[in-house]
Copies of this chain bind each other. A is one copy, B any other.
Amino acid sequence: MDFFRLSKKDLITTQEWSMNDINAVLEWTRYLKESYYKGDKPKLLPDKTFLMLFYSISTRTRISFETAMTELGGHAQFVESKTTLLDAGESIKDTAKAMARYAQGIGIRLLEPSVGNKVIREYASHVKIPVINMADDRFHPCQGLGDIFTIIEKMKEIRNKKFLVTWANSNNPRSWCSVQSAILIATRFGMDVTLAYPSEHFALEPTVINWCKQNADESGGTFEISNDLQDAYNSAHVVFPRNWMTAEAFEIGIERELELYKRYSDWICTSELMASTEKALFLHSMPVFREEEATSEVVDAPYSVIYDQAENRLHVQKAILSLMMGGMPS
């Protein structure tokens, strides 16, 4: 079981995890999912508490983590920052150190640009119990792990398969965490990753882009950026179209941001574009904005695996929680 002894205490981004750690999570996820369908949900975290701190709202992340803890025999507390004194002036150090006395793990969601990731790291620096990033302004590692688990589950062999992560139009500007986590994890697994967006306004974080290149070099995959919509779809094996905001979104305001998007309203995933792929899977971290990011025809097509992908969040998180919170059988 040495394979399952993680080298990292926290899960902030998969990029800081070794392939050994990542593979341990995926292996353990496979086992737990199989057990689940056999009607067996091992109680690996009996009477343990996982504290979920939500500075930002959520649907799937909250519900899937809470279900995960129930199935593991423990309990997840849903703590919204606004229902607490968290914003009343207490230092993060004090908040974190007290919470660590009441829980065996802490999850945090804070999407605020330039703030989220820093705050999560500060929490982690003060406590000995594991801190799990439930999405910040930069990363969403549980989503990334769920994505790669789903791709492997559906395709078996994924090396040098083309994974298109493409910007898509929307009236709801979205954060970067899901797309950045998708390209970071896929490049670790030797996929040929294409990141597509219509103009440099939509460039992602340089650090992340550099990591992706480096990952591809190490894993035998490739990483490229395209501004050509049609070319990006050609021969893809997996497609993930998703809106993300520009780096200037908060500066220029929502109206100008949305006006910019309108120029690229053809950046929507359609059946026509999907037809130029290698019978690609359609992935999405959800919520998907129908007729904006993708047509309903695509979302509802047989090649769309978004609900399986959503389900895999549950199994991946059960693996993460049980591995990180000491719930492994000895």
A51 within 8 A of B: yes
**Min CB distance, A153 to chain B, in Å?**
14
Q: Which residues of B contact A70 (CB under 8 A)?
A: 47-49, 74-75
In the complex, what residue of chain B is closest to A289 when comparing beta carbons? B89
Which of B54, B88, B288 contacts A94, CB < 8 Å?
B288
1/0 per residue, CB under 8 A from B, across A59-82: the answer is: 110111011001101110111100
Q: Which residues of B contact A43 (CB under 8 A)?
A: 47
Which of B67, B97, B299 contacts A77, CB < 8 Å?
B67
Q: A75, A78, A94, A95: which has the most chain B beta carbons within 10 Å?
A: A94
**Min CB distance, A317 to chain B, in Å?**
10
1/0 per residue, CB under 8 A from B, across A80-105: the answer is: 10011110111100110111011100
In the complex, what residue of chain B is closest to A51 when comparing beta carbons? B63
A103 and B62 CA atoms in complex are apart in Å by 13
A310 within 8 A of B: yes
**Min CB distance, A109 to chain B, in Å?**
11
Please tell me if the beta carbons of B311 and A89 are within 8 angstroms of each other in the complex: no
Assuming the contacts A101-B310, A286-B94, A307-B101, asked whether A58 and B85 have C-beta atoms less than 8 A apart, the reply is yes
Interface residues, chain A, with chain B CB atoms under 8 Å away: 41, 43, 47-49, 51, 54, 57-60, 62-64, 66-67, 70-71, 73-75, 77-80, 83-86, 88-91, 94-95, 97-99, 101-103, 171-172, 286-290, 299, 306-307, 310-311, 314
Subset of 5 A-B contacts with CB under 8 Å:
A63-B79, A75-B75, A85-B287, A88-B287, A97-B307
